[in-house]
Structure formats: structure tokens, C-alpha cells
Structure 1
Amino acid sequence: MNLSNVEFMLLQLIAELDQASGYDINKLIDQRGYRQWANIGTTSVYAGLKKLNEKELVESEPVGEKSGKGPMPTRFAITESGKAALRNEILTSLSTSREREQRFDLGLAALPFIEENEAVEALRKRLDVLDEAAQTITRTFESQGGARLPIHARSLFRHPLNLIESERAFVLELIHELSEERK
């Protein structure tokens, strides 16, 4: 069964919380900084919960009474088939997925169409963006408890920081190579 990234994340959070409302899930997403790197909006959460319910990977149960104009409050719990799908998705993602920014790769492929000094300037700006991203992730990590976080939560911060560090090393090396070619 194919799960979108949002559905995959939602199954994880529902499994972790045992039962959760859309509100509970959105709060946890904000606390962990998922929106910064996973491109998950509030409406994506609710659409994802609906899809998971339709796929029978979660079951929903209305709770309390309706208040205001919003929908009836609903809590979601993971089903046995949801647990199996989650387990399969975890194993597949850990063993086969690979992160890559395709737009950057397209820019690299097009380097011959710009001057070396333009490329170096653009890559220096990329270093600034990478530094800013690392600082934001580090601040969020520290505000959530830093090293005291459970390993699964710590790894959500350490992984992108390590990727940024590797990307910085690559960009610095490329800047050096481009600068050498100009000489």
C-alpha cells in the first residue's frame, strides 16, 4: 500500500499517541518542527487523516460535542492493518529511500551556461541558506529538550543537521574547484 509522506507521518504520530485528534497532531507537529522540513500544512493533516480512515489504517470516533462552526471533534486510533502498514513503511523508508534536492542537481547540470564567478556567488548564497537552516533546526532542537529527547525525536534533528554539514562540505569543495578553474 502506498502512503504519502503526510500519511506516513500521521500514522507514526497516532501510533505514538495511541489516540489523537487532528488538534493534538497539529500541536505535536508544531512542537517537533515538522512543518519546517516536511511541508505539512494544517489542511494536509486533516486530508491525510480522512485518507487513512478511508484506507482503514485508522479508525475514527467522535468525542464530546460540537462547539462553534468547526467539525465534530474526532479522535483517531491506529488499526491492526495500520500498524502493519506503518511497520512496512518504516522498514522500506529506512532501507531504500534517499533524500535529494532535484532542483539543485538541475542547477549543477546547467553550470556551463553561467560564468564561474556567478556560480561561486550563487553557491556562497547557498552556504548562507544552509547556515540559517542549521541554526533554525538547532534552536528548535534545543527548545524541545535537546539531548534529553528520546532517540527517535533527536534523530529527526540530527539527520538534517548532518545532511546540511555534508552539503556545506560539498558546496565549499565545488567553490574551490570553480575558483581553481578561473586561474
Structure 2
Amino acid sequence: MAKRRKVGNLLALAVLAALMQGPMHPYEIATALRGWGKDQDMEIKWGSFYTVIGNLDKHGLITAVESTREGRRPERTVYRITESGRAELLDWTRELISTPMPERPRFRAGLSVLPVLHPDEAVELLRQRLRLLEDGIATAREELERHLRTIPRLFLVETEYDLALQEAEAAWLRTLLAELTSGVYPGLDVWRAVHETGEMPPELTELAEKSRSAE
């Protein structure tokens, strides 16, 4: 079970990781995170960036070491990570790496209501997704191979993970499409009949009633 964090926004994790490189002011931190592509690794809402910085400081996970001013520019406070911040970063990372947590991608939401589509339309849409996915996989694989020529693999492990997930999804889609197009998918005839007759078969009506009564 995930721990309740003093600052639970994943942007805080990224900030702590950035400050492991050395003291920085917030603008430097944001520039580094963008340069490292952290907004592709996690959902980052830049509008909450300074709030996160303030909360990390409030809870003693980072601390101000100096303030600098250049000309008429606003004063910039330089922060460093504290020992408590290091401990939090390590503990949080260990949790994220070791403990599976439910994650609900948009595709899963679409699959959960797939029966509202006619089977033939569903097949075409799944084929379209597979084509786009295969194109994306090819591009991602080329980019990964290119990056591996200059960047240590350790710093591309999250890209490898993304590629593995995409390849697994593509393999699953191929299997699903083969079952749907060959007609061996269980319940396909009933699914088709509902859309072509507009009538719900008794077994599905009974199943829906049981689901409602169980709540």
C-alpha cells in the first residue's frame, strides 16, 4: 500500500531528484526537468511548480541556502536537498519500483464500454489503433537505438519500459483481432445480434439485473 507523503505530488519527486545533482534555484530546476524530459515520465502540472517547491521547503525536505539577484530580475532563492529530503526520495523511489499500484489508462476505459459499438466497427477501430501503435513502436525503437549510442542505458530504462508496454499491447491487440475476425471470440454472436436487432437477449438482461441487485 502506498504511503501518505508529506508532499505527494510526483513533481516533488522530480524536484528532489534534480537537487541530488546540487543546489539550484527554481528556474534551474524547471529547466533541468524539461531538459531531462521528466514531463514525459510523469504528469507534471507546471502551474503547481512553485507551490511544490514551497511545500518541500515547509516540510524540511529542501532548504534555502542563498538568495541572488541579477540586475532588475526578481530575487532567486537557491535550494539544496536536506537529509530528510534524501531519505524521502530514496523511500519514495523504492516504493514506486517495488510496489505495483492500479493504473487506469484511457484505453482501459474505452474497452470497458466496447459493447456499445457494433463488432464490425470495433474491429476497424482496433485495427486503426494497432496501425498507429505499430508506427509508434517503430519510431520509438529507432529513437532508443539512436540514444543508446551516446546515452548510458541506465538513463533510458523508462523508455525501454514504455516500448515493452507498447509491444505487449500490440501483441494483445493482434490476438484479440484474430479472435474477433475469425468468429471464435466468445459471445460475438450475441454482441452482434444486440446491435442488429436492437433487442437485449434474456441472458444479458438477467446479468444486468443481478449486477444491480448486488449493489
TM-score (norm 1): 0.80
Q: Is the 8 A contact 1:32 1:140 kept in 2?
A: no
Pairing 1:155–2:164 present: no
Aligned position for 1:32: 36
Flag structure 1 segments of 5+ consecutive residues without an equivalent: none
Q: What do you get for the CA RMSD once the two structures are aligned?
A: 2.8
Give the CA deviation at 1:102. Answer: 3.7
Q: Which amino acid aligns with 2:104?
A: E
Flag structure 2 segments of 5+ consecutive residues without an equivalent: 190-215
Question: Structure 1 18/165 Cα, relative in aligned 2: closer, same or farther at 3 Å?
Answer: same
Matched pairs, number: 180
CA distance in 1 between counterparts of 2:122 and 2:150 reads 41
Question: Structure 1 125/74 Cα, relative in aligned 2: closer, same or farther at 3 Å?
Answer: farther
Q: Is the 8 A contact 1:147 1:154 kept in 2?
A: no
Aligned position for 2:69: 65
Q: Which amino acid aligns with 2:54?
A: K
Percent pairwise identity: 26
Match of 1:107 among 103, 107, 110: 110
Aligned position for 2:18: 13
TM-score (norm 2): 0.70
Q: Is the 8 A contact 2:14 2:38 kept in 1?
A: no
- Identify the structure with bigger relative contact order (alpha carbons < 8 Å, sequence gap 6+): 1
CA distance in 1 between counterparts of 2:52 and 2:132 reads 30
Pairing 1:126–2:138 present: no
Give the CA deviation at 1:65. Answer: 0.7
CA distance in 2 between counterparts of 1:91 and 1:7 reads 15
